[in-house]
Structure 1
Amino acid sequence: MQSDFLIIGGGVVGMAVAYGLARDGQRVSVLDESDDAFRASRGNAGLTWVQGKGLGMPHYAELSLDASLTWPAFAAELEARTAIDIEHECRGGVDLCFDASEAKVRQRDYAKLQLSSRHLAQHFRWEYLDRQALQTYLPGLGESIHGGTWSPHDGHCNPLHLLRALHAACRSLGLEYHASTPVLSLSPCLNGFRAATPDSEFHAERVIVAAGLGARNLAPMLGLSGTVRPVRGQMLVTERMPRVEQLPTPQLRQTATGGYLIGDTHEEVGFDKGVSLEMMSCLADRAVRIYPFLRQARLIRAWGALRIMTPDGAPLYEASSRYPGAYNLNCHSGISLAAFHANELARAIIDDRLEERWSAFSGARFNVPAHC
């Protein structure tokens, strides 16, 4: 039986949209690669974040803000359906500033962003706090930290539990999931689209490319933009430690099990997802600067992962004008935007109104003709 939708990619972006489609009664099949693929969904800090999103692109800031407001209901829905605790908390977050110069730039950028649209002016809340004021939110903060921006919209979750819950929820709704099934080519056919894999072919009325870095090759086959590149992030995790009531930051956060997750690097190194002693040392030094008590903590793991980055850093959502029924979804904020992907974005795709509703995120903004 032919599916209504064929989704290429089983990461957080693809599975969140798949969940929204399947929940609405659509017949969905997902083709995923093997575990040795470049998986951003398994190599991130799990932040559900608003701060810093959309500087220079207010639509992205609005999208991030609205997604954060719907995240609690989305998390509760997933947990009720699957009994998997995704460890979501939304008690606010802090983005640290390490010196006065950084603090000045941050406040200027946020003030400008807040004035860039009526929606942000009314709903985006933030405040710059000096180190002393931050002690309420970040007990144990190091003396050399200048301050940071606080916002009530930020939170975090367990990204591996989120991905597991999305897969479980989709299976309960009848989704067909095909692991270790890399797609070699995509093409239109008489009744929709064909995906060729090493062992077989799959057909569906409509197709969604949510393949992360794989979109570089697959999306142009359907007249869609493949303008994404890898940006490496390295991470460290400490041993489990007593829980402290601290808000998350992009630089580090304590997980539900007690370990501190340390990261926030951006490296242009192509497809190298390894780790380097130099960067691990920098991360450890910064972590100790933030929380001096971590000097005594043992590090138990380090890893690198590749983010998916568009030329301007904002999401890419587009429908093919050359092959109606083909869509391309790509972003590096798959965790933060998961609630939006499962709800509004999935509904826009079902109604075939993706470009109408989210034209600001089309690949056309990169001056790359989507029909070529």
Structure 2
Amino acid sequence: MDETADFAVIGGGVVGASIAYGLALSGCSVVLLDGSASDPRASAANFGLVWVQGKGPGSPDYQRLTRVSSDLWPAFAEELTEIAGAEEGVPGPVLSYERNGGLTFTFGEDGYSERESQLHRLHNERGGENDHEMIDRAAIQRLMPEFELGPEVTGASFCWRDGCVNPLKLHSALLRAIPRLGGRVLFGSKVDTIRPVSLGWELTTATGRIGAGHVAVAAGLATKELAESVGLDIPVRPQRGQVIVSQRLPRVMTLPASTLRQTADGTFLVGATKEDVGLDRSTTLDAAGQLARNALRITPALRDINVVRHWAGLRVMTPDGAPIYQFSDRASAAACHSGITLAPVHARLFSERITGGDADALMAFHPARFGQTA
């Protein structure tokens, strides 16, 4: 073998890197296999929200899991920053992580009432504490006095657990931290074949052969096919999301919203579409126009600014929108479209589960819920 480890994690995005980071943090021997540059990479086309409000209708377990992860995020960010910069003379990465709450704007009285009813239904499904409130237009203005609201905005839902992070810096920090904890990151190592051997698995990659006792598949849209190679069933499909990015401006929007946020460096991110177009990652003028119109309903202050970037990425979607986690004795798989929000769960609970722990919070996300043989 060119490389051996107790654990091989397939997929070098935020989900796979979070799992590998958690394994390395616990002292395990781990190798993270990143694919080719042409792979559709959701981690590089991400809005960067750490979000709970409104997620998981019909799935109270998912609602609870996002809240567990949100509560783990502050310590996770602090620890990761320290480890990723744990080299003399090298500062830790600035993740731009904020947890000051988040907003979902409402338009008109009907929109306000509809949002209030929706969040009330979600709270009834999951039970427990109520971590959100409806606030009126005046309250939004008190929270962000320099942010100009559009005339249609009647209020917003506010959740104190919501926040945001720079997804590129998060991804970079994870990839820096893994080697510093003793793990290995192999770039350009797309997996071609996986076959069982006496003590685990042999993986053939573009850069050589890997031997591992356990294989964890977290390869985004490639997870379905790769998971089948290790006897697991992970149904996923692509969904395109387009985002536009503005020039840098003085920061006036200090809280992120579900479709609009201003980053720490002053750019506005406007997103995101939901399009079922297969693996097509192209951008469209229709989508850019739709995004711009939606943003201007929130704030007319963006009317005359320059758009400096327009990108499209592919979400990893499951049949019901909730994550899928599956485990066997020598293999596991993870698929979700909330890799940023759930990063601490993957680093902690998922890695604990495949190293012999229980992680009961993940058991509700087995693919058997879809009525398939798994």
Q: C-alpha separation between the residues in 1 aligned to 2:73 and 2:134?
A: 24
CA distance in 2 between partners of 1:16 and 1:149 (Å): 30
Q: Residue 330 of structure 2 aligns with which residue? A: 325
Q: 1:206 aligns with which of 193, 214, 227?
A: 214
Report the Cα distance in structure 2 between the residues aligned to 1:357 and 1:155, rounded to whole angstroms. 22
1:177-188 aligned within 5 A: 177-188=185-196
Provide the residue aligned with 2:89 in structure 1: none
CA distance in 2, matches of 1:230, 1:245: 31
Q: Distance in 2 between matches of 1:100 and 1:184?
A: 55
Task: Specify every segment of 5 or more residues in structure 2 that has no aligned partner in the other structure, as ranges.
Answer: 86-91
TM-superposition CA deviations, 1:211-250 (whole Å, max 9, x none): 0100121111222123100011001100000012521001
Q: What SS class does the counterpart of residue 74 from structure 1 fall into? A: helix
- Match for residue 136 of structure 1? 142
Alignment of 1:35-74 (within 5 A): 35-74=37-76
Q: What corresponds to 2:373 in structure 1?
A: 369
The answer to whether the 8 Å contact 1:224/1:363 transfers is no
Aligned to 2:98, what secondary structure does the other structure show? coil
Shift of 1:185: 2.2
The Cα shift of 1:75 comes to 0.7
List aligned pairs for 1:1-372, cutoff 5 A: 2-81=4-83, 82=85, 83-118=92-127, 121-122=128-129, 124-138=130-144, 139-320=147-328, 324-351=329-356, 353=358, 357-370=361-374
What amino acid sits opposite 2:302 in the alignment? L
Secondary structure in 1 matching 2:295:
helix
Counterparts in 2 of 1:232 and 1:333: CA distance versus 1, 3 Å: same
Conserved in 2, the CA contact under 8 Å of 1:348 and 1:357? no
Select between 34-43 and 196-205 the one with higher mean Cα deviation.
196-205
Q: Take 1:214 and 1:99, find their aligned partners in 2: how far apart are those partners? A: 42
Separation in 1, partners of 2:361, 2:104: 31
Measure the CA separation in 2 of the matches of 1:338 and 1:226: 19
Take 1:226 and 1:20, find their aligned partners in 2: how far apart are those partners? 22
Q: CA deviation at 1:357?
A: 4.7
Gapped runs of 5+ residues in structure 1? none
**Deviation of 1:140 (Å):** 1.1
Q: Which runs of 4+ in 1 moved over 6 A?
A: none
CA distance, structure 2, for counterparts of residue 247 and residue 17 of structure 1: 29
Aligned residues: 363
Paired amino acid for 1:332: H
Amino acid at match of 2:307: L
Q: Deviations over 1:95-139 (max 9, x none)?
A: 122344433332222112212234xx22x4111122232222342
CA RMSD of aligned residues (A): 1.5
Structure 2: how far apart are the matches of 1:50 and 1:365? 22
State the alpha-carbon separation in 2 of the partners of residues 157 and 109 from structure 1: 26
Mapped contact 1:318–1:363 kept (Cα < 8 A): yes
Name the CA shift for 1:103/1:173 in 2 (closer, same or farther; >3 Å): same
Contact kept, 8 Å, 1:218 with 1:226, in 2: the verdict is no
| SS of residue matched to 1:56 | coil
